[in-house]
Amino acid sequence: RKKVTVKTIQKLYKTRSPITMMTAHDYPSGVFCEKGGMEICLVGDSLAMVALGYDSTTRITLEEMMHHSRAVARGSKSAFLIGDLPFGTYEKSAEHAIDNAIRFIREGHVEAVKLEGGVEMAGTIKRIVDVGIPVLGHVGLTPQRASSLGGFRAQGTSLLKAKALLADATALQEAGCFAMVLESVPSPVAEFITKRLSIPTIGIGAGPHCSGQVLVQMDMLGIYDKFTPKFCKLYERLDPLIVNAMKEYGAEVKQGTFPDSKLHTYAMEKGEEEKFLN
């Protein structure tokens, strides 16, 4: 498969081919993105919750994100690879954000970074873009700020808030984002914003009229046990399959039917076994 770059993404956008994006958090989930033909692979900080079991994405550090993104990079080869700048690594100042974005590229092996926020982040985004790092924006529900938003809830649901969201999206485009995530936004609002912009929108819980879609891999596969957001379609329910496999294994070990004395182990060299046992 051909390597996906920002150029490819622009081409998909121009030809109105919906862009496919999926999260990954380790080597196997990266390989799944590769085999599944995803165009963009995101090492989202949602991994703090779905892979590490924290109750908020604000718990994770850049070091931890890079530990995961390096593993994803070993498995996901042709998708455009983006890393989420975690909470606390880009808000303080543009210099701080640039330093961390550079580290993410160098030590985390990603090709672009994503950060959350609208108008207030535009200046910082422009500075990161200016040093040559592609930035994916993220507006609407911004999970790193869930506390101040009053939880994980839909955004832009009133006229006033929808207008503010459009202003945020416009500011991100002007700051130089190559695309932006719209999370938990009413479909008509996402459609309107998408029509107004000249860069792609990647929706999650934002309806079918975005330029692309993203889902969290552990959610769409039915593996994460805490909750599944309303907007996530379960394409598979792997959790019972995995649990049943373990129960079966456990039972077979107890019964002595696994492992098989021939299938699942090794023989000694010819004639050696008898001598060894006697």
- To ligand KIV, the closest distance from the beta carbon of 49 in angstroms equals 9
- Which range in 42-50, 92-100, 185-193, 241-249 contacts ligand KIV by CB under 6 A? 42-50
Token pair for 37? 């033909």
Size of the site for ligand KIV (CB under 6 A): 10
* Residue in 60, 125, 139, 214 binding ligand KIV, rule: CB under 6 A: 214
Residue with the two structure tokens 């991100």: 172
Segment (H or E) for 72? helix 62-75
Comparison of 51 and 192: residue with beta carbon closer to Na ion: 51
- 181's contact among Na ion, ligand KIV, none, with CB below 5 to 8 A by partner kind, is ligand KIV
- Residue with CB nearest Na ion? 44
- 204's contact among Na ion, ligand KIV, none, with CB below 5 to 8 A by partner kind, is ligand KIV
- To ligand KIV, the closest distance from the beta carbon of 189 in angstroms equals 17
Helices 94-108 + 122-130 axis angle, to 10:
50
- Which range in 26-34, 37-45, 102-110, 230-238 contacts ligand KIV by CB under 6 A? 37-45
Residue 203 to residues 93, 129, 180: CA-CA distances in angstroms?
28, 22, 8
Using CB under 6 A as the binding rule, whether residue 212 contacts ligand KIV is answered as no
Using CB under 6 A as the binding rule, whether residue 137 contacts ligand KIV is answered as no
Comparison of 127 and 138: residue with beta carbon closer to ligand KIV: 138
- To ligand KIV, the closest distance from the beta carbon of 45 in angstroms equals 5
* Residue in 44, 117, 134, 137 binding ligand KIV, rule: CB under 6 A: 44
By the 10 Å C-beta count (0-12 exposed, 13-18 middle, 19+ buried), 92 is classed as exposed
Which residues share a beta bridge with 20?
213
- To ligand KIV, the closest distance from the beta carbon of 88 in angstroms equals 15
Using CB under 6 A as the binding rule, whether residue 181 contacts ligand KIV is answered as yes
Rounded Cα–Cα distance for residues 165 and 80 (Å): 26
Which residues share a beta bridge with 139?
182
CB 204 within 8 A of CB 183: yes
183 classed as catalytic: yes
Which residues share a beta bridge with 251?
none
- Residues numbered 8 to 27 that lie near ligand KIV (CB under 6 A) are 23
Name the active-site residue from 39, 111, 183, 191: 183
Rounded Cα–Cα distance for residues 205 and 50 (Å): 18
Rounded Cα–Cα distance for residues 77 and 5 (Å): 12
CB 214 within 8 A of CB 22: yes
Segment (H or E) for 94? helix 94-108
Comparison of 225 and 272: residue with beta carbon closer to ligand KIV: 225
> Which residues make up the interface to ligand KIV (CB under 6 A)?
23, 42, 44-46, 84, 181, 204, 214, 216
